[in-house]
Each structure stands twice: as C-alpha cells, then as structure tokens.
Chains A and B, each alone.
Chain A
Amino acid sequence: MNPVSGSRKARWGTYIIAFLITALIFATAFYASNYFNNQRIADIRATQDDISTDILSLETQFDLLQEHSCSDVAENTILPSEMTSLGDQLSYMEAQGSSNQDEVTRLKRLYSILEIKDYLLMQQLAAKCNLNPVFILYFYSNKGDCTDCEKQGYALTSLSETYPELRVYSFDYNLDVGALQTLISIDNVSDQLPAVVINGKVYHGYQSVSDIENILPQLSTLKIATSTAATSTKK
C-alpha cells in the first residue's frame, strides 16, 4: 500500500462516527441479550404452566380417586427430573444477574409454590394409595451467608442421580412466599443453613451423601439409576 502521513489535527467527525458505532454495538448487544433472556423466561414460564396444569390435573384426579384406580393417578405424577431441570434453569437465570431479575424472582416464587403443592399432593397420594415416595426438603440461601450450601447442593445432586425416584425439593430460605414461610415454620427450620428435612425431622448443617443414606434407609427401596444424567441440584 502507498506511503501515508497526515495532519494530527483532530477530525471530530471521526470521533463522533466512532462513538455512534460503538454505542450502536453496545445497544445491539444489550437488546440481543435482553431478547434471549426473555426467550428463556418464556421457556421457563411455559414449563411452569405445564407443571402447574399437571398438578391441577393430578389434584382433580385425586379428588375423583374413588372413580379411578390409584395406579392411574400415580402414573401421572410429576417426574422429579422435570422439577429439578426447571430449578436448574431458574438458578442459572438468577446467577446470570440479568436485567429481568424481578421476573426471575416471580418465576422462582411460583416454582416454590409448585414444589410445595407437588410435595403435599405426593404425601396425600402416599397415604391413600400406599405409595412409598421418598422426600427431602432442602433449604438454602444464596445471600452469601451459607458456605456449605454449595456442597449440600452437590451431595443432593449425587443422591438424585443415584436414585432418580428420590424427590428433592429445594427452597430459597429467604424467598418472600407465604406458603414457603409457613412450611419453614411448620418444620422448625432455623436460619442455620443449609438445612434438610427428612421424614419430618430437620437437620441443620452440611449432611453428606452417607449421612443422608444413614438417616433415610427408605432410599434402599428406590430403584438405582443404571446411568447417571447430567443434572444438578441448585444450591
């Protein structure tokens, strides 16, 4: 290319054009990011709607139990992996710290209510239909005041992978949901987190996989996974 030299006198037009292009790139990036986040939220909302409908259907079936067999109802319960997957997606959105945090929190509150409804329904089903579902309620905090919550999450993930029928319900202790606060009150869960509730008894502090297997001998009645899936239980 030909030799070049030029006056160093600033051409302000170049400065302005560069600023406009940079601002446009930033605006496009923020718009696109927001668009994709909204898509994710729409996905989560759709999944929640499905689960909500399934629970409502199940409740209705349960009410009509005298006209149906228990096996019909049990076949239609929500799979634990569906709940876990939804929880993982919400945790991801929360960790991303996107601009839609209010919406994410709303979805998380709804998710907690769905978990509680599923938990109650499964308890009722267990009583009426002689089922033996195994539950763990897990309370965590992600305010930075729970150093062992990450470890506890991994331990529960390990158990979920080993026993796919195990139902682990994870709750953000600090979430402002009336039903959740009632559950916390009923189970006497203090703010010494992490805490797990197993067979109605609360255990504060980190519980390892072997600790939980010892506390919960019913685990041995569950089927063991032949291959583990890549799921995780949020902290």
Chain B
Amino acid sequence: MSDGIVMYVLLFISLYFEVFMLVSFLRRHSSGGSIVSATQGNVYEPKVAIVVPCFNEGKTLAATVTSLLSLDYPHDKLEVYVVDDGSRDNTLAVANAFGTDPRIHVLHKENGGKHSAMNLALSMTDAELIGCLDADSVVTPGALRKIAPIFENQSIAAVTPGIQTKKPENLLQHMQEAEYRLGIFVRFTLASLGSAYITPGPFSIFRASVVRSTGGWKHGHSTEDLEMALRIQDAGYMIANAPSAIVLTGTPRTLPALFRQRVRWSYGFLRNGVDYRHMFASKKYGNLGVIILPTALLSIGIAVYFFVHLVLSLLQTLMHQVVKIEILGFSFHPSFNAFYIDTSALWMIVLVSVSIVVALITVGTYIGTGKHRPPMGTALFVLFYSLLAPVWLGTAAVRAAFKTGVRWR
C-alpha cells in the first residue's frame, strides 16, 4: 500500500471518529431523555466520603480542603479523609489545622502511592459513596449535590464531574484550558455512549460497594483512575458524567511538567490496555469495545505517524531552503499568486478535521460553562498540540513497550 493511501486511510479513521463523536452528541442532545429527569428535585443524599490523597501538597492542600468543607451537602453525611502519603513537606501540619471540623479525618501513612491512600480511606469509611479529589484541585459548592442523586440508579457505579482548569497564567495553561474544554465534550459524549474509560482524579465519585467488590484501588501503572474505570466497565456497571458538577484543577505550568504528566497518562492507557485487552474490539462491551478503545489506541499511532511525516517534510523543506540560500543568498520577496495556494484534498480534509475539533471545543465550552465562545487558547491548541502530543505519545509507547514504569513526579 503506497504511503499516500496509508495517509488517507489514517485520516479517514481520525475524521470518522470526530464525526462519530459529534453525531453521537447531537443524537443524544436531540433525543433528550437525560437522567436529570429522574434526579431533578430529588433529595437522595447518601453518605459520601471524599478522599484527598496527598504527597507533598502543603502549598495547595488548604484550598482543596476548604472547598470541600464549603460543599453544599448535609454535614452529617459528608466525610473528608485527608491522607498524607508520607509527605516530606508541611502537608500533615496543613491537614491537621482543619482537624477541628468533625467532617475532617486526617490519616498519615508511609508513602505507598495514591491507590494505597484511597484504599486506606475505603477501609475506614462506611459511606455509600466514595470519591477522590486531587490536592491540586478545588470543587465548587454545588458539585456534590449535582452528582449524588445520580447514584439512585443502581447500575451506575461512578460519576465523573465537569473538569475545568484554574485561571490560566501562561500560554501553555491557556492551551490546556482549550484541551480541557474538549475533554468536557469527550467525557460527556463517552458517558452518553456508556463508554467512559477514565474516572479522573479530580472529584470522580464511586459507589463504595462496587469498589470493594471489584477489589479496591490498584496501582494501575500509575493511572489508578483509568484502571478503575476499565474495571468498572468490565464488571458491567455504568459510568455517568455530570458536567455541571464543576471542579477546577491545576495544570502544569511548564513544558517538562506537562510532558511528564502526559507520558504518565499515555503510558497508563497503553499498559492498562494490555491488561484489559479482552475488551478491545469486543462486541460484548458495545461502543466501548467496538470503537472507543480501539480508536483511542489507534489514535496514538496515527498521531505519531503524522508527526513523523510532518517532521520529515519540514526537514526536507529546510534542506531545500539551505541549498537555495547557499546559491541565491538570503532574499525575501513576499508575493502572492493564487495559482500556488495548496488545494490538495489532503489539506482540505485536514482543514475540515481542525474545524470539527474547534467545534467540539466550542460544544465542550457550552456544556461546561454555558458560554458559546471557545477559550482564547483554542488557536494555540489547534496550532501546537498536534506537534506536542505525538512527542509524549511516542515516548509513552516506547516506554510501555519496554515496561519501564512511570513516576508521578
């Protein structure tokens, strides 16, 4: 098969998935039947335990705990477990400062990873629901009240919130803000397809009995949130999404920090994908097995393929320019001739694909914030993410192949 045909086939797959997600959202949106109809005005208020696993989170922990204590939820039905996972900073002291509130339970243990902190809290609570809030995130007061009633449906084992970024302070964070808006759309649509395969650290809430019966939290190749979601799906339960339950999360400020985080996420997906390979391409798991998981896996290869092509093409252009400058010297004659505008089918399809991504970010913005305009980082996201993401995806793929393991920090 020639390179051109391979490129168009991969482009077709990418575009098909974008269109599939958009069509799925529109069909869901037009058919109505939201589960809110069953929960609106509902006073279902089960006991909830929120766990804040901490490892050297002294700087951000106070804001996280304060936001939890501000939740609009009956005090006698809310427990907050701050689990200091062997921190070497003042995390424990910050946690103990909240100790006077009866809802707060401060636990300290040897460092063992996030999953071990979650399991410690799980072993101590009798709450019906248990959730996690990463110590770099804050929750809005109404969030839990938007989530808890959904669990009245016994087939639902987990609910993910609408995750937004804290106020971006640099261009990288603006770019991530757009990415998270896209994430809101994706999470919402995947939930409507019964195919959510990640229950993110910031304020995903679980039915405690299901967590216990399926074995508690596991290391999950440093992505326990992904492993838990796959396990829930494997056990036949559903994962819902409540986009109006807003959580604000911190995003990496620097490129190396972003790179580390994304390598961990991608590595976790690939290694957990191997562990749960029986779910891939299996009709038993419906949309999740037929299209979502296979496409998520394929998209890593597609991103790397197009990135390598782009880099080779740029290098070739650069070499031509060097030869040209050697002969002609450096000269710049700006001119425009409509004849030379690239109107190849490839570029038109790429343009359509990018336009759909912008549309999905806009829809995500609407779902999460009710606003109709995408964030200002959208242009940066569209321009640079396709160059950045393949680097960590490729790195993660290589590391996953060699089972190197990844660290949180």
A-to-B contact residues, CB < 8 Å: 1-11, 14-15, 17-19, 21-22, 25-26, 28-30, 32-33, 36-37, 40, 43, 89, 92, 96-98, 150-151, 154-155, 157-158, 208-209, 228-230
Contacts and interface: CB of A to CB of B under 8 A. Distances in A.
A5 B240 contact: yes
Interface string B103-140: 00000000000000000000000000000000000000
Q: Which of A3, A29, A157, A158 is packed against the most chain B CB atoms within 10 Å? A: A3
B231 to A, nearest CB: 15
A10 B290 contact: yes
Contact of B16 (A8, A19, A43): A19
Contacts of B34: 2-4
A6 B194 contact: yes
B150 A18 contact: no
Given A15-B20, A33-B348, A40-B339, A4 B324 contact: no
8 contacts: A5-B150, A5-B239, A6-B192, A25-B15, A29-B348, A30-B345, A89-B339, A98-B344
A35 B8 CA distance: 19
Contacts of B241: 3-5
Interface residues of B, number: 63
B343 A36 contact: yes
A6 B15 contact: no
A22 B16 contact: yes
Interface string B170-214: 000000000000000000100111110000000000000000000
Given A29-B345, A43-B339, A3 B333 contact: no
Nearest to A154: B327
Contacts of B240: 3-5
Given A1-B243, A3-B150, A29-B349, A14 B194 contact: no
B60 interface: no
**Interface on chain A toward B: helix, strand, loop, or mixed SS?**
helix
Contacts of B320: 150
A1 B367 contact: yes
B146 interface: yes
A8 B286 contact: yes
Nearest to B342: A96
B286 A10 contact: yes
B284 to A, nearest CB: 10
B159 interface: yes
A150 B323 contact: yes
A29 B327 contact: no
A158 B287 CA distance: 60
Contacts of A28: 348
Interface string B234-245: 000011111111
B23 to A, nearest CB: 5
A154 B324 contact: yes
Contact of B23 (A21, A97, A230): A21
Contact of B286 (A7, A37, A209): A7
Contacts of B324: 154
A151 B191 contact: no
B261 interface: no
B67 interface: no
A26 B324 CA distance: 36
A26 B11 CA distance: 10
A230 B336 CA distance: 10
Nearest to A28: B348
B340 interface: yes
B28 A6 contact: yes
Q: Which of A1, A11, A150 is packed against the most chain B CB atoms within 10 Å? A: A1
A158 B323 CA distance: 13
Contacts of A25: 15, 19, 349, 352
B327 A151 contact: yes
Closest 9 CB pairs of A and B: A8-B194, A5-B240, A8-B286, A230-B333, A2-B36, A154-B327, A36-B343, A18-B20, A29-B348
Contacts of B39: 3
A92 B339 contact: yes
A10 B28 CA distance: 13
A22 B15 contact: yes
Contacts of A151: 323, 326-327
Contacts of A37: 343
Contacts of B19: 18, 21-22, 25
A201 B288 CA distance: 71
A33 B4 CA distance: 15
B35 interface: yes
Contacts of B245: 3
B343 A32 contact: yes
A4 B188 contact: yes
A8 B28 contact: no
B391 interface: no
A6 B194 CA distance: 5
Nearest to A24: B19
B35 A9 contact: no
B163 to A, nearest CB: 14
Given A5-B239, A8-B238, A25-B349, 11 more contacts: A3-B36, A3-B147, A3-B150, A4-B242, A5-B238, A8-B194, A14-B24, A25-B19, A26-B12, A208-B327, A230-B335
